[in-house]
Every structure is written in structure tokens, then in C-alpha cells.
Amino acid sequence: MKQIYGSYNEEDFQVWKRLYDRQIQNLPTAATKAYMEGLDKVSFVPEKIPIFKETNDVLEGLTGWRLAVVPGIVPDYTFFELMSNKRFPATTWLRKMKEIDYLEEPDMFHDVFAHVPLLSNQSFVNFLEELSVIGLGYVGNDYAIEILSRIYWFTVEFGLIQEKDGLRIYGAGILSSAGETKYSLSDEPPKYDFDVRTIANTSFRKDVFQERYFVIQSYEQLYESLGEIKEVLAEMVEKRMEEPVVA
């Protein structure tokens, strides 16, 4: 699949600009430094929907990653296979103006505006790549994929990071949401130190602001946690297999 840039209409450009302008006001004091630096590197602007080819040229020169166009949510194997080969799956369609505040399925603003800038950070993409290699080994095992989904959810999508200037956001699910950006950094939701075993045993919902967030100290910490992720995952899967089948 390819991005057909000529297919974007005036509403698409208006949606991109409105979402961009609304969220960019929040991010300088909310987003991780790595995201803000990455946003500058990929040169996203409100007046222009990103051209994937241009973005790929930049990312490939920085970390070797590229965007791979997908129609929407893809099967587990496709998702892990792409990312294990340094290809981040991204849609090219944008939500309609009537859906500006809530969308059930991630659109291009989420996939590109929220995810892409951090693809310029080497430690972060190393984590993504190796996590996906682990995922490929468990495709077809629904329980294992559920556990990996929790790891991905509470890091890549809804993770927080403690930086010298304070608590910051690196999760794309928050970075693409003006409402959750403010909520996640407020005193209302509880925050916990990043812990693989706790996250692996924590379920989540997609239709509400998160009830809890996990905080890393660095992207190196994420990468260094991969060994523990493998161990905890294998242990939980083995334990599940040993459980008696209830008739």
C-alpha cells in the first residue's frame, strides 16, 4: 500500500491543522524531551499533512526505521513482523471533523503525529524492535499476546517518563489526546514505577482515560527490561498451560 497524497481533501487538511494546533500548545511542558526533539527532526507543521516518503527519508537516516502503510489495525503477525524489520505500521486516513474528539480506531494523527517523533530515538526503537521479535515467537498464543499487549499499552501507548524537568509523556495514546495529556499529568490518576511483572498482570480499557500509569526513568530502562519481559512472559504462559481445564 502507498500514501496517495492527492486523495486528501480540504477537510483532511483542516482536521490535521486543528488537531496539531490544539495539541502543540500542551506538549512543550508535557511531552518527553525526546519527542519534542524528534518532532523538530521530522519537521511536522500544522499546515501540511506529512508526506510519508519525506518522513521515511528522515527516519531512515536517524535510526533506520520507516513507515509502512496499512489500512488500519493489522493482524498480530503482520504487526510484529513489520516492526521486527524496523517498519512502523501507519494508516494514511484522517478522522472526520465530527470525530475530532474521539475515535475508536487509531487514525493518521495518532499513528504519525504521536508515534513518529519518538522513532528518532535509538533506545526507544531498539525496544520496539526486540519486543516485536518476542511477539513473533508467540503469534497464535492468545494469552501470550494479551500479556505483550499490556506491556505495549502501558509503555508505547500510555507510558510516562520521569525527566529532570518533571514527569513527562512518551506514550502515543496520550500524546494524541489533548484531554488525556492534561489528565495523565494531574494528581488524579495514580502513577507507579515501571515494573514488568505488575504490568503483565494489569488489564486495561480502550474507551476511557487510563486508571493508572507506569513511569520509566529512561528509554534505556525500557530496552534493558526485555530480558525480564521474556522471563515473565514464559513463566506466565507455562503456568497457564499447567492450569486444569474447567469443563
Neighbours of 195 (CB within 10 A): 14
Q: Looking at residue 73, what is its pLDDT?
A: 85
Q: Looking at residue 85, what is its pLDDT?
A: 97
Asked whether 90 and 115 are in contact (CB, 8 A), the reply is yes
Proportion of the chain in helix, strand, coil states, percent, rounded to 5: 55, 10, 35
Cβ-proximal residues to 127 (8 Å cutoff; 6+ apart), any chain? 155, 219, 222, 223, 225, 226
Give the bridge partners for 67, in sequence order: 88
Angstrom distance (rounded) from CA 227 to CA 25:
38
pLDDT band, very low/low/confident/very high, at 246 (cuts 50, 70, 90): low
Cβ contacts of 204-209, under 8 Å, gap ≥ 24: 204/150, 204/153, 204/154, 204/158, 206/104, 207/104, 209/179, 209/180, 209/183, 209/184
Over the stretch 4-37, which tens digit does the pLDDT of each residue have?
999 999 999 999 999 999 999 999 999 999 999 9
Asked whether 135 and 45 are in contact (CB, 8 A), the reply is no
Domain positions in the chain are 5-242
Q: Looking at residue 188, what is its pLDDT?
A: 96
Lowest mean pLDDT of 50-59, 186-195, 233-242, name the range.
Answer: 233-242
pLDDT band, very low/low/confident/very high, at 179 (cuts 50, 70, 90): very high
CATH of 5-242, one of 1.10.800.10, 3.20.20.70, 3.40.50.2300, 3.40.640.10: 1.10.800.10
Over the stretch 158-172, which tens digit does the pLDDT of each residue have?
999 999 999 999 999
Model pTM score:
0.94
Say if strands 66-69 and 87-90 run parallel, antiparallel, or are unpaired.
parallel
φ/ψ of 185, rounded to 5, equals -95, 0
Cβ contacts of 56-61, under 8 Å, gap ≥ 24: 58/120, 59/116, 59/119, 59/120
Q: What is the dihedral of CA 119, 120, 126, 130, to 10 degrees?
A: 20
